[in-house]
Amino acid sequence: MKTVRQELIDYLGNHLTGNKRDKIRAALGERTRHLTVLLEDLNQPHNASACLRSCDCFGVQDVHVIERRHPFQPDNDVAMGSNKWLSIHRYHQPESALETLRARGYHLVATSPNAEGDTPATLPIDRPIALLFGSEHKGLSDRLFSAAESTLRLPMHGFTESFNISVTLALAVSRLIERIRDSPLDWRLSEAEQEELTLKFYQRQIARHDLIEEEFWKEREE
């Protein structure tokens, strides 16, 4: 027997094309929360947007954002609509973000070109991973860096010290996601999580979905 939420999803789904419903179902089947990222005080919209786009492309569902000094303002042209498919969690203080990630059992991993530590090929993946990325110029704050349990670096073979932050994120996430997906880990979203996101995605795709939902509830009362 279907739950009320499942009935609502079916009702809203009638206002989407079959192709759109299939794409949402397929994408959610490949989504993960085993890996997440935290972005601290990014101040360049194109970097923020590129980071979101990479997370969506690699199937990372959650992005945590600290806006202590700079508001997180992605450029829609660069993000290519990726933000509407992601769960973006915003914080004003690092402590709130750290508390949330720890409560969800994440292994906090600071990214830094100067720190010795794991690479994407050696970082343990048995626990859920939260990659911490700092601002474009200063990197991670001392507070976040000291809170991390491990560090991650990308092997460099040239004269330049580091990649752009959006490139760093894409390279690190790409390699880790590949390892996670090839592992026996249960990395996919649960059925309940997929159902919850299906409803949210349908709502974001349907203009004035609130009016359609009013019709749904009225019909149930009759």
CATH number, position 168: 3.40.1280.10
- Does 193 have pLDDT greater than 60? yes
- Read off φ and ψ for residue 133, nearest 5 degrees: -120, 135
Indicate if 196 and 119 belong to the same structural domain: no
pLDDT at 162: 74
pLDDT at 25 over 70: yes
Under the banding of pLDDT at 50, 70 and 90, the label for residue 1 is confident
Is residue 6 situated within a structural domain?
no
Q: Are residues 70 and 98 in the same domain?
A: yes
Amino acid at 24: I
Tally of structural domains, the chain: 2
What does the pLDDT average to over 118-144? 92
State the DSSP code for 15. T
Q: Is residue 96 part of a domain?
A: yes
Task: Report the pLDDT value the prediction gives residue 75, as an integer from 0 to 100.
Answer: 66
Render pLDDT for 6-15 as a digit per residue (tens, 0 to 9): 999 999 999 9
Specify if 60 maps to a domain: yes
Q: Are residues 112 and 219 in the same domain?
A: no
**Tens-place pLDDT, residues 56-85:** 999 999 999 998 887 888 767 655 578 899
Residue 90 sits at the vertex; the CA angle it makes with 114 and 55, to the nearest 5 degrees, is 60
What number is the average pLDDT over the span 143-152? 95
**58 within some domain:** yes
Same domain, 126 and 81: yes
Do 206 and 127 share a structural domain? no
User: Looking at the structure, do residues 202 and 116 belong to the same domain, yes or no?
Assistant: no
Give me the domain span that covers residue 220.
190-222
Q: How confident is the model at residue 163 (pLDDT cuts 50, 70, 90)?
A: confident
pLDDT at 74: 73
Whether residue 60 is found in the same domain as residue 132 = yes
Return the pLDDT at 220: 87
Q: Which of 50, 160, 171, 167 is nearest to 119 (CA)?
A: 171
**Residue 47 maps to a domain:** yes
